[in-house]
Chains A and B, each alone.
Chain A
Amino acid sequence: MTANFRRSLRQALTVARRDFVATVFTPTFLIFLLSPLLTIAFGAAGGLGASTVAQGASARERLVVIAPGATAPGFLVADKRLRAAFDHGDGPAPLRLETPAADPAAQARSFIEGRNGDVDAVLYGSLTQPRILYSRGGKSDADYLALLADDVLRAQHLMPGAPVSSPTKTRIQRTQITVAGHGTAAMFAVIAIFILTLFLAGLTLGTMAEERSNKVIEVLAAAVPLESVFFGKLIGMFGVALLFVGFWGTIASQVAGILPSGAAAAIATIAPAVGKPMFAVLFLLYFIMSYLLIGTIYLTLGAQASTQRELQLIALPMTIVQMAMVGLGTAAAGAPGSTIARVAELFPFSSPMAMAAHAANSPDLWPHALALVWQGLWVALLIAFGARWFRRGVLQSGGGQRRRRALAPGG
């Protein structure tokens, strides 16, 4: 580490510390910290996301019946007849028939625990004493399979005193990750990063305006490279963001009921492909990258603004840009490996969300190393560009043609 780098880092941290203290130790910070209480939309957005996730997940689920060829057609007929009783969309998951293997019990268990099966319930054995395995949340599916077996049995013995079906239902604890769990994790990551970034990156928007209005900018510019000023401000506001996330994260972890029921259920089914600990690490890293990328844009544009009105004008298009990015992110989460997912993963401003979704959908870790380097490169580029633009436009250096009153040439 060179002396110049160490000095720049130290100076950036000095600026960060000033900004953090100046932001946090004020009465208005309390209003900011507690603002989610007033923002019912947060809960609504969470519930909406969870609902979408749940629908997406259920579309991939299957029911399996392991039955010999002679019985199989009867199941299909019964399934068709019983399914007709449900409204469209409310019916059980699609039914799949499988031929019995040498050990149907092991076969059934493998379906439940299978990595890509997303099978919630499996029926095997005889019609009079069917055995049904089901996973967590698959109780109603198990009931449906029992009903199905009973219906097939009744169809075969249309006479009084015919045997009745006596099913045995066993709940199985899944040990493998499912595609539905991947999808839940992916969507959760995209939405959570989006909401946090939307809420927190805007903090950087007006920070340079403060230095300009107080005329402190020249003191800073003489002592500290503008890149360090920009980076310091990002770090300072990121500290504020972490405080905010930590505060609400702690409350959420202690008060489970604070989450909307849909969101709580969706979070419970999270099963990222890279595993939960690694997913948590990657989620944090991608949140940081998303914050830095969007925060740098806010900071750069805000540094050019001279008035509060200009700051307000900048905020709206930035929000729209973020909405577009979450669109790309959710598309990537819903269609892993697709072209749109690749585009979202490569485009710097949607990349953190899309790559967090990638972590949920795919176990490979090396793409994340590349993505983090790629995103970090863009952060550095944006900071350098923002500082250069500020220097040319506001400090009137480097042959810029624009004239600003902030530091007009004088005696």
Chain B
Amino acid sequence: MSQSLAIVADGLVKTFGDRRVVDGVNIAVPTGMVYGVLGPNGAGKTTTLRMLLGIVEPDEGRRVLLGHDRPREVTDRIGYLPEERGLYPAMKAREAIAFMGALRGLPWAEGRRRAVTLLDEAGLGHAVDTKVRKLSKGMAQLVQLLGSVVHQPDLLVLDEPFSGLDPVNQEGLERLIRREQARGATVLFSTHVMAHAERLCDRLAIIAGGKRRFEGTVADARGTLPMQAHYTPERDDPSLAALLPADARHNGREWIFPVPDGEIEPMLQRLIQSGHGIAGLSIERPGLHDAFVRIVGQQGPDGTGSDIGAEMPR
């Protein structure tokens, strides 16, 4: 694969006290992609992002950001929204955004100018000169998010960006991420809400127990599960259960069961020939949510589990 990589994490390890929080995580994010880091609470997502950004140093492993193995050398080209949101309460929204830009090398005056535009676009034009302490939690979060993109970074790292936002603002954030990608930025974000990842991510990694469990596209992740049939017979009786796979579940009038690849036609023939009739039938891949639950659920009690998915591009 010849595509350049915006981020490479190779065998990152971090231990706090006697707890191995991140245990050999590998991630490769091609330039220009929207990449998701998914995992349950406490999986090690935030610590992985912090190591990538140089906020904490890894105990082992290597990371390369935008071609540099020392993240500090490219801080001006990176935007970051931490999981724990934080702004100076006495700052006005415009100043807060300009300040975050100034930290990344954007002149204050330009930062203020862009802040007004960004706030207008985000529907917060009325809050340009409002102090942060007077903004709602969601509005303050948007201000911080705008502060992370005001300097037009090449790499945008967002840690749980959707948490705390109402559905309207979540949709706005999705638009902003797509806009940043269209501008040419690489976007890396962590989440444990699958719907956002499913809609946004070109590729994703699933982390659990400090280890990477999966790496690939959303389709790859969904492909780890067989097709799922939702069948509603016209006449239901005990003899039907014998025709269906052993792991079929009964949900009201509906039967739900997996259909392995290549088994769709034989299964349909069996249902038609059985004479139970077909009041409703859908056969589709399970969503990312189910794939995530299955992948994370494979983790053993000691945190062990296999890494599924495509080979990391290099």
Where the two chains meet, the residues of A that have a C-beta atom closer than 8 Å to any C-beta of B are: 4, 7, 10-11, 14-15, 17-18, 22, 26, 210-211, 214-225, 395-399, 401, 403, 407, 409-411
| Cβ–Cβ contact A215 & B84, under 8 A | yes
Q: For the complex, what is the distance from the CA of A15 to the CA of B100, rounded to whole Å?
A: 10
Q: Choose one: A4, A211, A224, A407; the contact of B103 (CB below 8 Å).
A: A224
Q: For the complex, what is the distance from the CA of A401 to the CA of B88, rounded to whole Å?
A: 29
Once A14-B99, A214-B89 are accepted as A-B contacts, the answer to whether A222 and B73 lie under 8 Å apart by CB is no
| Cβ–Cβ contact A218 & B86, under 8 A | yes
Pick from B50-58, B222-230, B276-284 the stretch touching chain A: B50-58
Total number of A-B contacts with CB less than 8 angstroms? 100
A407's nearest neighbour on chain B, judged by CB, is B84
Interface hub of A17, A217, A221, A395 (most chain B Cβ within 10 A) = A221
Interface hub of A26, A211, A223, A397 (most chain B Cβ within 10 A) = A223
A223's nearest neighbour on chain B, judged by CB, is B103
| Cβ–Cβ contact B15 & A399, under 8 A | yes
Interface hub of B40, B56, B80, B91 (most chain A Cβ within 10 A) = B56
| Cβ–Cβ contact B103 & A11, under 8 A | yes
Q: For the complex, what is the distance from the CA of A80 to the CA of B208, rounded to whole Å?
A: 97
- What residues on A are CB-neighbors of B67 within 8 Å? none
- What residues on B are CB-neighbors of A215 within 8 Å? 82, 84-86
Q: For the complex, what is the distance from the CA of A411 to the CA of B49, rounded to whole Å?
A: 10
Q: For the complex, what is the distance from the CA of A227 to the CA of B17, rounded to whole Å?
A: 25
- What residues on B are CB-neighbors of A220 within 8 Å? 103
Extra A-B contacts (6), CB below 8 Å, given A14-B99, A219-B82, A411-B44: A7-B75, A7-B76, A17-B102, A219-B144, A222-B75, A401-B17
Where the two chains meet, the residues of B that have a C-beta atom closer than 8 Å to any C-beta of A are: 14-17, 19, 21, 39-47, 53-57, 59, 72-73, 75-76, 78, 80, 82-91, 99-100, 102-105, 144, 147, 160, 190, 192
| Cβ–Cβ contact B75 & A223, under 8 A | yes
A211 smallest CB distance to B (angstroms) = 8
- Can you list 14 A-B pairs with a CB-CB distance of less than 8 A? A4-B73, A18-B99, A218-B55, A218-B82, A222-B55, A223-B103, A397-B55, A397-B57, A399-B59, A409-B16, A409-B47, A411-B40, A411-B41, A411-B44
A242 smallest CB distance to B (angstroms) = 21
Q: For the complex, what is the distance from the CA of A26 to the CA of B86, rounded to whole Å?
A: 21
Q: Choose one: A10, A218, A225, A407; the contact of B72 (CB below 8 Å).
A: A225
Once A218-B55, A224-B75, A411-B41 are accepted as A-B contacts, the answer to whether A7 and B84 lie under 8 Å apart by CB is no
| Cβ–Cβ contact B55 & A219, under 8 A | no
- What residues on B are CB-neighbors of A17 within 8 Å? 102
Once A223-B100, A395-B56 are accepted as A-B contacts, the answer to whether A411 and B42 lie under 8 Å apart by CB is yes
Main SS of chain B's interface residues? loop
| Cβ–Cβ contact B75 & A411, under 8 A | no
Q: For the complex, what is the distance from the CA of A410 to the CA of B48, rounded to whole Å?
A: 10
- What residues on A are CB-neighbors of B190 within 8 Å? 411
- What residues on A are CB-neighbors of B14 within 8 Å? 409
Q: Choose one: B21, B59, B80, B160; the contact of A223 (CB below 8 Å).
A: B80
| Cβ–Cβ contact A410 & B16, under 8 A | no
- What residues on A are CB-neighbors of B15 within 8 Å? 399
Q: For the complex, what is the distance from the CA of A407 to the CA of B84, rounded to whole Å?
A: 8
Interface hub of A7, A397, A409, A411 (most chain B Cβ within 10 A) = A411
- What residues on A are CB-neighbors of B73 within 8 Å? 4
Q: For the complex, what is the distance from the CA of A398 to the CA of B54, rounded to whole Å?
A: 11
Once A214-B86, A225-B72, A397-B55 are accepted as A-B contacts, the answer to whether A403 and B45 lie under 8 Å apart by CB is no
Interface hub of A15, A17, A218 (most chain B Cβ within 10 A) = A218
Q: For the complex, what is the distance from the CA of A224 to the CA of B102, rounded to whole Å?
A: 11
- What residues on B are CB-neighbors of A395 within 8 Å? 55-56
| Cβ–Cβ contact B103 & A409, under 8 A | no
Q: For the complex, what is the distance from the CA of A267 to the CA of B227, rounded to whole Å?
A: 92
Once A401-B17, A411-B46 are accepted as A-B contacts, the answer to whether A218 and B103 lie under 8 Å apart by CB is no
| Cβ–Cβ contact A397 & B87, under 8 A | no
| Cβ–Cβ contact B84 & A218, under 8 A | yes
- What residues on B are CB-neighbors of A26 within 8 Å? 90
Nearest 5 Cβ contacts at the A-B interface:
A215-B86, A397-B56, A223-B103, A216-B86, A218-B82
A169 smallest CB distance to B (angstroms) = 66
| Cβ–Cβ contact B17 & A403, under 8 A | yes
| Cβ–Cβ contact A14 & B87, under 8 A | no
Q: For the complex, what is the distance from the CA of A223 to the CA of B192, rounded to whole Å?
A: 25
| Cβ–Cβ contact B57 & A398, under 8 A | yes
A402's nearest neighbour on chain B, judged by CB, is B17
Q: For the complex, what is the distance from the CA of A215 to the CA of B72, rounded to whole Å?
A: 21
B148's nearest neighbour on chain A, judged by CB, is A219
Q: Choose one: B75, B83, B90; the contact of A410 (CB below 8 Å).
A: B83
Q: For the complex, what is the distance from the CA of A225 to the CA of B80, rounded to whole Å?
A: 15
B147's nearest neighbour on chain A, judged by CB, is A219
A229's nearest neighbour on chain B, judged by CB, is B103
Once A4-B73, A223-B80, A225-B72 are accepted as A-B contacts, the answer to whether A22 and B56 lie under 8 Å apart by CB is no
Q: Choose one: A216, A403, A411; the contact of B87 (CB below 8 Å).
A: A216
Q: For the complex, what is the distance from the CA of A252 to the CA of B86, rounded to whole Å?
A: 42
| Cβ–Cβ contact A410 & B42, under 8 A | yes
B102's nearest neighbour on chain A, judged by CB, is A14
- What residues on A are CB-neighbors of B91 within 8 Å? 22
| Cβ–Cβ contact A219 & B56, under 8 A | no
B39 smallest CB distance to A (angstroms) = 6
| Cβ–Cβ contact B88 & A216, under 8 A | yes
- What residues on A are CB-neighbors of B83 within 8 Å? 410-411
- What residues on A are CB-neighbors of B17 within 8 Å? 401, 403
Once A409-B46, A411-B42 are accepted as A-B contacts, the answer to whether A222 and B57 lie under 8 Å apart by CB is no
A221's nearest neighbour on chain B, judged by CB, is B55
- What residues on A are CB-neighbors of B75 within 8 Å? 7, 222-224
Once A18-B88, A22-B90 are accepted as A-B contacts, the answer to whether A410 and B46 lie under 8 Å apart by CB is yes
- What residues on A are CB-neighbors of B53 within 8 Å? 222
Interface hub of A216, A398, A399 (most chain B Cβ within 10 A) = A216
- What residues on B are CB-neighbors of A407 within 8 Å? 84
